[in-house]
Structure 1
Amino acid sequence: MQLSVSLGAVLPRLLKSYGVEIVFGIPGIHTVELYRGLTDSGIRHITPRHEQGAGFMADGYARASGKPGVCFIISGPGMTNIVTAMGQAYGDSVPMLVISTVNEHGRMGSGDGWLHELPNQSGLVDGVAAFSRTLHTTGELAPALAQAFAVFDSARPRPVHIEIPIDVLLAEVADAEPAAPMRLARPAPNPAALDRAADLLAGARAPVILAGGGARDARIGELAERLDAPVIMTTNGRGLVPSGHPLGVSLSATYPATRSLIADADVVLAVGTELGPTDYDMFEDGGFALPGTLIRIDLDPLQITRWIAPALGLVGDAALAVDGLLERLGPTGRTDGADRAARANAGAAELPEMARRDLSILAAVRETLPDARIAGDSTQLVYSGNAAFAMDRPASYFNSATGYGTLGYGLPSAIGAKLADDRPVIALSGDGGLQFCLGELASAVEAGAPVILLLHDNDGYGEIKSYMQARNIRPIGVDIVTPDLATIAAASGWQVVKPSVETFTDDLLESSRRDGPTMLIFTDAFREGWPA
């Protein structure tokens, strides 16, 4: 006689068959059936203190591991809470699987006021997901998961939402071990298009590469050396060419020196980048232009045609595309790429003095902990880093200050990244942003995630205050009551350190050796005292 169990009990085993190792979620009355099968699945469960934190942790985990972050979310408020995190992941093309419940058939969308009822939960998240699907029968679960992982494997990776009505979650199914799922390979670009791209690049006088987060697995450095082409890296592309590489350009294309480099290029190869305004025109001055021949490589055919239409578009995986170009390209004989890159990087000297101090602080972090990842909130140190900071490895510098641009991201995303592997993880946050996610201080301790939080405490929303003052607007709502964050962190189990300029690197190194999380608090006076 074949035994049967609930669909909720089977679901964790299905996830395990796809290689899922961690699930982020807060158990609720509508999701407890999912936890019946979680215990024996081998999947680790991490409990944040807010569903937004669950989404941000999943985001950080996905960026660090290259695997989708998975969340179990209750219906109603659980879904409204996680929408912001899904929006950030959607904007940055981060794979995230959100599995939620919804009221049972007959109650779903009835308007009768059942617990956690929303009129159209799937419709709520449709704009921040590759797709949102409601399962009406038990037989739809396996195909829905297959479709989700098809997106993660071979399309532009973005959040996917699967919602399961409570009656379907409780329905009995055969208790059998899931078969190994079929996985899709990344699509390769058209060979004829690769031939044409290689011809254009081989004949270029002054080629330039624009590289974004979508190129994280591509051999960008090798291609740059073959072409003698400077590589301008977006925020999410930092580290594709390591700091100090003669062809690497980390000064944002928002700034004149980098724009001049692009304007002088006769052929521009854009790899895995949206060419979005927050990377190329942060101040919205309209000064970014691409007069040369543009070649775009992207998994998303729609993205290739957005904002700036290319002369040639290659739809496919960035790593496969770059491999194909390397197979077709020989030495070009050009030798001026390093000089062109150096002239662009020299533009960082024109940044405001405080930004240069911030970049020096970040450089000290990189040099002290060269294997670290840096996950940032929308905060001043991050804004400076996005302007010109260089990293040594891809997928090691990311934050919420581009694209969707949320607050409260830094700490929970760092926790997720730390759970991916043993590399040190630094979170960058301000006191205002941290107050969006204070509860996640306890989550880090509970999860055994010894992250290091560099907290800039300036008693409020300092960046917005400066922005208002620069526009002759009397600051309102930015000078907020800030609790004693050091005491809150210590009460949550954190080590708290207030470094001086002289002790900072030693304190940072010591923090990396601790078994638990550490908060390093610095103020405006610390930044002003740091050498530019």
Structure 2
Amino acid sequence: MTEVVNTSQYLGRFLAEWTPTLFGLMGDANMRYLSEYMDRGGRFVTVAHEAAAVSMADGRARVTGAVGTASVTHGPGFTNTLTALTEAARYRSPIVVFTGSTRPGRTVFQQFDLRAAADAAGAGFESLCAAATLPEDLIRAYRRARTERRPIVVDFPALLDGEPLPEHVTTASMPVPDHSTTPAQVPPVPAPELIDAAVRAITAIERPVILAGRGALSPGAQDAIGRLGCLLGAPLATTLLARGLFAGHPLDIGLMGGLSFGPTVDLLREADGFIVFGAGLNAFTAGDRTNLLAGRTVIQIDSDPAAFEDSGQVDVAVLGDAGAAAEALARRLPDSPDRVQESRQRAAAVHGFNPRDHYRTDWTGYGLSVRDAALALQEVLPADKFVVSDLGRFIATSWRHISGTAPGTFTHTGTFGSIGLGLSTALGAATASERPVIALVGDGGLMMSIGELGTAARAGLPVFLIVFNDGAYGAEYSKLAGYGLDPDRSLMDWPDLATLARGFGWEARTVSSVEEIRALDLTQPVEVPTLLDVRVDPQVDHFEW
């Protein structure tokens, strides 16, 4: 006899097959199917605030490449996610967020236009309209997340919750789960006429530089672009999110843009053309204190047509896979041995650059500068780490100096400009990362998400959390001073952060000197959630972009 189940039971069992780890907060909209999910062996990570559920799903998706899943309740449960949802949408994270519309009626105080809010955040929307189409609707939501590379908000309406399934919908015929970490759509092969146009443009460039971004993070693209660089004698630069892609390559010159070191900036300013693979050309990448692209020829290769609209100045736009385009260009372009030798010599100057030789120690009598702290931390942290950063004044320097050894192991929650999302995103990453997860946050951002310290302790997520604690909203401190106003108005009298963390079940300690940092034994991953409260000086600025 076939088991008769209802929609909530089916959804819980579907999720147990399709997403082994799910993040969320229970409420009337989801408690029944989440109970079924846990009964079926699913790992449900309960958060303190719904925004954290979306950020954690986002963090897991960034590490694995597979679709992450979050679940929240009606109305305010969903509106609490909107900042995190917008960040995930702008980062192009494939996640599915379940919520639910309320039953119709004037007395239902949690009514809300879910579709309109999802659209405003940049997310897609699906409604589970009927019990008869539940399997197809669920599969479509997950496929859209992968195909469109963005969050999909799924409405499981209260009217459908607990409804019996028709006879033809059974758990015995549950769709095979899709745990793929590759895009659902194969990147297009570059059109020959676009390759022709790119070849003509590149041939006219005398001092080319190749820039690779997140869209080139595949072994095939990495190798093909590296070979093209050798052929053209073009130095190889990356965006922040593709950092390390060309590590060890003789033409590697590191990061392009506001985080570049001096020798790299000099080389970039002398370039008369850029060949761009899978990278955005925003002001942080395309500029230092000036627009590096101004007056230069720009050839941009990307598998996403929207990338060309966002980039502004592009002379030749090639729609297609980064690796395939690099191989096609290499077959058509002549080699430049003289330029290769010169570029290797210039790249060697970049490799030999030691920032410590060019920095002075800034100190006003309190704590550390972020620069000194970041340099010391990079010495003692595990080399093979995954770094997740929040936003705050600390990023201008810490992003230069704290990184892992493998490409694609740095991410940030800065595409929407919010603070407070970094901790939760790091926790989500920690549920799937094979590398130790290091989270970089400011004290203000941590206080916005302080409840998630309890989430980490309950779930046993061994994140190493570094708090650059200047006792202020640091960016505002700098800006107030710049306006000639009293910067002390941005100071905050926080509780002691290490004491707070211990109260949540974390290990924690405070450091205020380079010597204390260097004395830490951090080369091995932590086994329990651990917080390091790094006291830094609010009066020392290192805005260098």
Question: TM-score category by the smaller chain?
Answer: 0.7 to 0.9
Task: Give distance in 1, aligned partners of 2:269 and 2:135.
Answer: 50
**Paired residue for 2:343, among 331, 337, 345?**
337
Q: 2:52 matched to 1:53? A: yes
The answer for the alignment partner of 1:216 in structure 2 is 217
CA 342–100 in structure 1, closer or farther in 2 if over 3 Å, else same: farther
**CA distance in 2: counterparts of 1:308 and 1:352, whole angstroms:** 38
CA distance 1:127–1:476, change in 2 (3 Å) = farther
Distance in 2, Cα, partners of 1:492 & 1:31: 27
Matched to 2:238, the amino acid is M
Q: What residue in structure 2 maps to residue 134 of structure 1?
A: 127
Q: CA–CA distance in 2 between the matches of 1:103 and 1:310? A: 47
Match of 1:160 among 147, 152, 160: 152
1:248 equivalent in alignment to 2:241: no
Cα offsets for 1:301-342 (capped at 9, x unmatched): 122133424233233444554565567778553223334446
Give the alignment partner of residue 114 of structure 1, picking from 95, 108, 133: 108
- 1:366–1:16 Cα change, 3 Å: farther
CA distance in 2 between partners of 1:178 and 1:399 (Å): 36
CA shift, 1:385, in A, is: 3.2
2:543 maps to which residue?
A: none
The residue type equivalent to 2:490 in the other structure is V
1:30 aligns with 2:33: no
Paired with 2:354 and 2:119, the residues of 1 have a C-alpha distance of: 42
Residue 50 of structure 1 and its aligned partner are, at CA, apart by 0.6
- CA drift at 1:373: 1.2
Is it true that 1:374 corresponds to 2:374 in the alignment? Answer: no
Q: In 2, Cα distance between the equivalents of 1:471 and 1:374?
A: 34
* Greater shift in the superposed pair: 434-443 or 364-373: 364-373
Q: 1:507 aligns with which of 520, 528, 532?
A: 520
**Correspondence list, 1:98-497, <5 A:** 98-104=97-103, 106-107=104-105, 112-118=106-112, 120-155=113-148, 157-173=149-165, 174-176=169-171, 177-180=173-176, 184-192=184-192, 193-194=194-195, 197=198, 201=202, 204-217=205-218, 219-220=221-222, 223-227=225-229, 228-242=233-247, 246-250=251-255, 252-253=257-258, 261-281=267-287, 287-319=291-323, 321-322=325-326, 332-333=336-337, 334-341=340-347, 358-359=370-371, 361-368=373-380, 369-386=382-399, 391-400=404-413, 402-475=414-487, 478-497=490-509
Aligned equivalents of 1:273 and 1:68: distance in 2? Answer: 22
Map 1:70-81; keep pairs closer than 5 Å.
Answer: 70-81=69-80
Report the 3-state secondary structure (helix = DSSP H, G, I; strand = E; otherwise coil) of the residue aligned with 2:455: helix
Whole-Å Cα distance in 1 between the matches of residues 249 and 452 of structure 2?
A: 35
CA gap 1:49/1:131 in 2 versus in 1, 3 angstroms? same
Structure 1's 436 and 243: CA in aligned 2 closer, same or farther, altered over 3 A? farther
- For the residue of structure 1 that corresponds to 2:156, the secondary structure is strand
Contact 1:188 / 1:317 at 8 angstroms: preserved in 2? yes
Shift of 1:351: 7.8
Count of matched residue pairs:
516
Compute the displacement of 1:408 (Å). 1.1
Higher alpha-carbon deviation: 365-374 or 440-449? 365-374
Deviations 1:239-259 (A, max 9, x none): 223378651322524778656
Q: Secondary structure at the match of 2:210?
A: strand
Contact 1:373 1:397 in 2 (8 A): yes
Report the aligned-residue RMSD. 3.4
State the one-letter code of the partner of 1:396.
T
- 1:522 matched to which residue of 2? 534
Residue 70 of structure 1 and its aligned partner are, at CA, apart by 0.9
> Are the aligned partners of 1:129 and 1:160 in contact in 2 as well (CA < 8 Å)?
no
- Identity of counterpart residues, as a percentage? 26
Q: 1:92 to 1:350 in 2, by over 3 A?
A: farther
Aligned-partner Cα distance in 2 for 1:73–1:522: 34
For structure 1, the residue ranges without an aligned partner over 5 or more in a row are none
Tell me: CA distance 1:462–1:310, structure 2 relative to 1, closer, same or farther (3 Å): closer
Q: Give the drift of 1:135.
A: 2.8
Alignment-derived partner of residue 83 in structure 1: 82
Alignment partners' CA distance in 2, 1:72 and 1:37: 14
Secondary structure of 2:81's aligned partner: helix
Question: 1:60 corresponds to which letter in structure 2?
Answer: G
SS in 2 for 1:519: strand
Secondary structure, counterpart of 1:295 in structure 2: strand
Judge conservation of contact 1:239–1:392 (CA < 8 Å) in 2.
yes
**Letter aligned with residue 85 of structure 2:** M
SS in 2 for 1:179: coil
SS of the residue corresponding to residue 445 of structure 1 reads helix
Instruction: Give the CA deviation at 1:416.
Output: 1.1
SS of equivalent residue, structure 2 residue 293: coil
**1:399, 1:409 within 8 Å by CA — same for their partners in 2?**
no
Letter in 2 for 1:381: F
Q: Is the 8 A contact 1:233 1:250 kept in 2?
A: yes
The 10-residue stretch of structure 1 (309-318 or 424-433) with the greater mean CA deviation from structure 2: 309-318
Contact 2:510/2:535 (<8 A) preserved: no
Query: 1:491 deviation in Å?
Result: 1.0
Partners of 1:152 and 1:320 in 2: how far apart?
Answer: 25
Show CA shifts across 1:469-515 (max 9, x none): 012133475222311222111111111122342242442517x4542
Gaps of 5+ in 2: 541-545
Query: For the Cα contact (< 8 Å) 1:252–1:258, is it kept in 2?
Result: no
* Counterpart-to-counterpart distance in 1, 2:14 and 2:482: 54
- Contact 2:57/2:68, CA 8 A, preserved across alignment: yes
Deviation at 1:430, TM superposition (A): 1.7
Contact 2:464–2:526 (Cα < 8 Å) also in 1: no
**CA distance 1:399–1:138, shift in 2 (3 Å):** same
- The alignment partner of 2:515 has SS state of coil
Cα distance in structure 2, aligned partners of 1:248 and 1:429: 27
Does structure 1 conserve the Cα–Cα contact (< 8 Å) formed by 2:361 and 2:372?
no
Is the CA contact (8 Å cut-off) linking 1:271 and 1:297 kept in structure 2? Answer: yes
